[in-house]
Amino acid sequence: MRAAPLTGKTMAMRLTEPAPAKLNLALHLRRRRDDGYHDLETIFAFTRFGDELSVSPAETLSLTVAGDFADAAGQGPDNLVLRAATALGTAAKIVPAAALTLKKHIPVAAGLGGGSADAAATLRLLNRFWGLDWPATRLRAIADHLGADVPACVESVTCFGSGRGEALAPWPVALAGAHVLLVNPRVAVPTGPVFAGWDQIDRGGIAIGATLAALRNDMTVAAVALAPAIAEVLAALTAAGGADLVRMSGSGATCLALYPDQAACGSAKAALAGRGWWLAESQLI
């Protein structure tokens, strides 16, 4: 394997890459597969809010994690940032060398795809830093081995996902610019137990272009059974009023509400501010 190439630009600059939080605006489970994964259909969306990854030249590969959720994310070899960097280096037949710093703002085990977003940002960032200039399709092929959500996070645009979530197609309804309030009751909910709690009833798929209100998140009941506070968050968001959509994201515990404007979003945030929950106001990208 050859050394990672460094251009004059990368040697002189500290490059950064956003890692937008991932939302599931709908999530329909279809069946449990023999490989342990689930066939599903989902609508991925992404927010301006998220983590941030930066890189500087180095002789070895390292990761430093800072930010509100640094301790929960960890910075050992199992961190998806390091796994993604190693996978890209292997695919490119280079020895991965980079000093990576992750500012961790997305809660861990929150249904916001924080680890997947970070892995995808790593692929995009080091693709630039190492001067590979690979297309997104090539990065997605690597991402597929890192997690079901990572290919969608490489793109970080609203899209329809099927299979494990890795088969992507355009979503025809424009959602960029919609205001969103994210609320987590400060409860971490591991994805595995929520999938295990699904009642395995196929309630049908997602019609392309369907209205969001007509869709659902099939993981909600199982997630609420593990973390009843999720039901409190959903009820509070509904009671605050003004939302076009209120739904749990992914496997929880974060819930989302979409609003037509910033005023309605800000009003709902103010109504929930005294409960001690984690709140983030943002927009879809």
**159-215, pLDDT tens digit by residue?**
999 999 999 999 999 999 999 999 999 999 999 999 999 999 999 999 999 999 999
Least confident window among 2-11, 34-43, 257-266: 2-11
pLDDT in tens, 236-272: 999 999 999 999 999 999 999 999 999 999 999 999 9
pLDDT above 70 for 141: yes
The phi, psi pair for 44, rounded to 5°, reads -85, 140
Distance CA 284, CA 137 (A): 23
Q: Spelled out in words, what is the top-level CATH class assigned to the domain 179-283?
A: alpha beta
The token pair at 164 is 């494990």
Backbone phi, then psi, for 224, in 5-degree steps?
Answer: -65, -35
Give, in order, the Cα–Cα distances in Å from 4 to each of 12, 119, 129, 141: 15, 19, 9, 20
Residue 245 three-state SS: strand
Task: Taking each helix axis as running N to C, give the angle between helix 136-143 and helix 114-129, from 0 to 180 degrees, rounded to the nearest 10.
Answer: 130
For residue 112, what are its two tokens?
A: 């916001």
Q: Do domains 2-28+44-157 and 179-283 have the same CATH topology?
A: no
CA distance 197 to 29: 12
Integer Cα distance of 174 and 212 in angstroms: 12
Considering only residues 1 and 179, tell me which one the structure prediction assigns the higher pLDDT.
179
Which residues are known to be catalytic?
22, 149
The Cα–Cα gap between 21 and 52 comes to 10
Alpha carbon distance 198, 241 (integer Å): 29
How does residue 6 score in pLDDT terms, banded at 50, 70 and 90? Answer: low
Q: Which residue has the higher pLDDT, 72 or 193?
A: 193
Distance CA 141, CA 203 (A): 30
- Domain assignments of the chain as residue spans, ordered by start: 2-28+44-157, 179-283
Answer CATH for 2-28+44-157 from 1.20.1440.120, 3.30.230.10, 3.10.310.10, 3.40.50.720: 3.30.230.10
